[in-house]
A and B are shown apart, each in its own frame.
Chain A
Amino acid sequence: MDESRRKFMKMITVGLGSLVGAAATVPFIGSLFSPWVRNKKEEWISVGPVEDFPKGTNTLVEFENPDPEDWAGMTKNSAMWLRHDEDDGFIGFYVNCTHLGCPIRWEAKANLFFCPCHGGVFYKNGEVAAGPPSTALRRYKVRTREGKVEFLTNKVPIVNITYNVEQL
């Protein structure tokens, strides 16, 4: 066989093979990265009338994520801490500890949030009181409309070391 013919056949085999191989993996790569292109929804959720939340208390608000899948089951459930501060009005905190995301619990008598995982403790305003967390509790945007308290649902706050998740 001719040298150039052999070269041509090699080119066809490798070239077409790589092309088709790459094309075949596109759907797979697409599905792998689909969460990045999926439509993200944010919603204002009404928690209830202002009178339901006395000053100085923290309430655990249970809500559902906006636009969950039909089969989402319990994953559509979510919770947040709503504080009615004497001075600063309504503040909404994520339940995720800013260390590594474990759920924090509020102890009313001690006026502290405790994390069960690595010893993180937060004050009532979300500032770090003790332990490994390095940033204050993440907050939701909260507003009052027509006498009702509302907050904006958003993504799970993942603490990025390059820049902080913006204070909402």
Chain B
Amino acid sequence: MKHFFKRIGHWFDDRTGWSENILPIIKHPVPPNVGWSYVFGSAVLFCFVLQVLTGIALAFMYQPSVESVYESLQYIRHEAFMGNIIRGLHFFGASGMVTLVGIHMIRVYLTASYRYPREMSWISGVFLLLLVVAMGFTGQLLRWDDEALWSTFVAAEQMGRIPIIGDAIGHLLIAGETINGFTLNRFFSFHVFVFPGIMMMLIGLHLYLVIRNGISEPPVVGRKLIPGVYRKWYDKMIKEKGEPFFPNAAWRDAIFITLVFGVILSLAIVVGAPPLKAEPDPQHVLSHPRPDWYLKWIFALYAMMPPEIEPYLIFFGPLVVISLLLIYPFLSKTGQRHPIRRPWAIAGVVVTIGIVAFFTFMGFKSPWAPKFDTKPLTEAMVFSPKLQPGAQLFYDKGCQYCHSINGYGGSHGPNLSKVGEHRTREHIMIQIVNGGKEMPAYGGILSSQEMEDIITFLKEFKAADYPHKKGKLPAKKAKQRSKKRDFPVKEAEEKPD
């Protein structure tokens, strides 16, 4: 019996050339001291495969038509067998890809592995990085809930910052001059067919290059790269000391991938995929669009950068950064490879991580966003007849959306709990009348009686005499808060002709 299977094996091997051609690739020799820092590339590849598999599973149920997509997602979420786990795996798989791609890139960068002869690996890697970001963005959009709908508008508006052809590109993105029946399908095709197709080709190139050039040897302090002799030196070193990738290095990859999958699966089960927001409708203007976590830093950037430079930064910023990344192997050709001898590289990585972390944190806090769901002061505290009108106006006129008093209100503008202690009435009035870059000029909005009432309130409010808001609201992303709208709504009549 065993003999029979052995013969089938031999037949298969002879007809396909498996042991002659494929096995050597799997067992390709790697430098002997390749360590744990090399596991990240294969971890990214694993995440990609996971995304493809869970993506296909989702595509079995997802209805990519604007009329039925929301219901199909509800089905996946609530009824489909393991539906929510699949959604969770797909979302955290995406998060995993973004994170691991970053770590992989940092490892390659710090060890200068982008240098001769591996420049093409780096270049193909940069394109893969961009595609991963594009996949993350289009993926959130496919949830096609309230947040996703407005993200689509925001994406089109960003395209508008491209000079001359910007709005044409924006209209191309949403497949029309406004969001229509084709918009979702365009993003679906990009997310499911176009981008993954290009990625698979680039991944193929990326992996082929590893076989062709060999995986970079761990850097040694003091060793210099001499392009003319490197290939010969590497081939000789590999021949003498190389170990087969499988199993001598692959076992580390296997352990790390198991860890990664464990984390993704746990998150999928315990935390779950982002909940579906409200059903999307361009008529719902009481919306709070927010991107997923890995794009929060860009969201914060848009809110915090000076508006005067914004159009130029949106266009030139990415252009400059991506161009720099692509030509980097040609800018940094020589020098030592060991991170200990690359202090500027380390500094650059630390600063970059710091900046992205800062903006991500700010993106979650989003203090610039008006706090529409703040509890009116007059509901939280009892005021004397003298202060009551001003306190009510403080909420009605929108001040409380951006300013806090005793913990109630927004954090865009300064806290006004104690403004009466160090500002005169005139000072307060000038500020309210004129506003500023971040504050409307209320001079044209308030009557003189209203102005008096507000100033009286602010000047005479004694913070210590009133309750302070206890604790903080759970830090939820701003979602659909049900604020009663105070504007009338009308449906248009049939079109005249």
- Residues on A lying within 8 angstroms of B by beta carbon are 32-36, 38, 40, 43-48, 52-53, 57-66, 68-79, 82, 95-96, 99-112, 114, 116-119, 121, 123, 129-134, 145, 148, 150, 154-156, 158-162, 165
Contact = CB atoms under 8 A, between A and B. Distances in A.
B438 A110 contact: no
Nearest to A154: B177
B168 A36 contact: yes
Nearest to A133: B307
A158 B167 contact: yes
Interface stretch (B16-24, B50-58, B157-165, B418-426): B157-165
A118 B478 contact: no
**Residue with the highest number of chain B CB atoms closer than 10 Å, among A95, A150, A155, A156:** A156
B176 A102 contact: no
Contact of B435 (A47, A76, A130): A130
B285 interface: yes
Nearest to A107: B398
A155 B175 CA distance: 12
A35 B369 CA distance: 34
B166 A158 contact: yes
B286 interface: yes
Interface stretch (B94-102, B467-475, B485-493): B485-493
Contacts of A150: 496
Contact of A58 (B154, B305, B435, B487): B487
Given A58-B487, A156-B179, A102 B154 contact: yes
Contacts of A75: 66, 179-181, 183-184, 282
Contacts of A165: 167
Given A46-B494, A74-B282, A158-B159, A103 B303 contact: no
Contacts of B494: 46
A44 to B, nearest CB: 6
Contact of A48 (B156, B445, B490): B490
13 contacts: A35-B174, A45-B496, A63-B492, A64-B492, A69-B182, A73-B67, A74-B280, A130-B435, A132-B305, A133-B307, A158-B156, A158-B167, A160-B166
A100 B441 contact: no
Nearest to A42: B177
B225 interface: no
Interface string B269-285: 00000000001111111
B177 A155 contact: yes
A65 B303 contact: no
B153 interface: yes
Interface in B396-447: 396-398, 401-402, 412, 435-441, 444-445
A116 B402 CA distance: 12
Contact of B438 (A46, A68, A108, A130): A130
B163 A161 contact: yes
Given A61-B491, A66-B495, A69-B182, 15 more contacts: A35-B174, A36-B168, A36-B172, A48-B492, A61-B489, A73-B66, A75-B66, A100-B158, A105-B286, A107-B398, A116-B287, A118-B369, A130-B440, A132-B303, A133-B307
A68 B282 CA distance: 14
B370 interface: yes
Contacts of B370: 114, 116, 119
Given A57-B488, A69-B181, A102-B150, A129 B441 contact: yes
Contacts of B175: 34-35
A162 B163 contact: yes
Contacts of B489: 59-62
Contact of A38 (B153, B161, B176, B438): B176
B438 A72 contact: no
A46 B493 contact: yes
B487 to A, nearest CB: 5
Nearest to B437: A130
B302 interface: yes
Nearest to A121: B440
Contacts of B311: 134, 161
A99 B156 CA distance: 12
A79 B440 CA distance: 25
A155 B157 CA distance: 12
A100 B283 contact: no
Given A73-B181, A78-B283, A161-B161, A60 B154 contact: no
Contact of B167 (A32, A69, A160): A160
B180 A103 contact: no
A165 to B, nearest CB: 7
Given A48-B490, A61-B490, A71-B67, A76 B180 contact: yes
A106 B66 CA distance: 28
B66 A72 contact: yes
A134 B440 contact: no
A133 to B, nearest CB: 7
A131 B289 contact: no
A118 B302 contact: yes
A102 B44 CA distance: 34
Nearest to A131: B438
A139 B170 CA distance: 19
B67 A102 contact: no
B66 A74 contact: yes
B496 A129 contact: no
B460 interface: no
Interface string B459-487: 00000000000000000001000000111
Nearest to B158: A100
A60 B179 contact: no
A50 B181 CA distance: 33
Contacts of A133: 307
A103 B287 contact: yes
B493 A119 contact: no
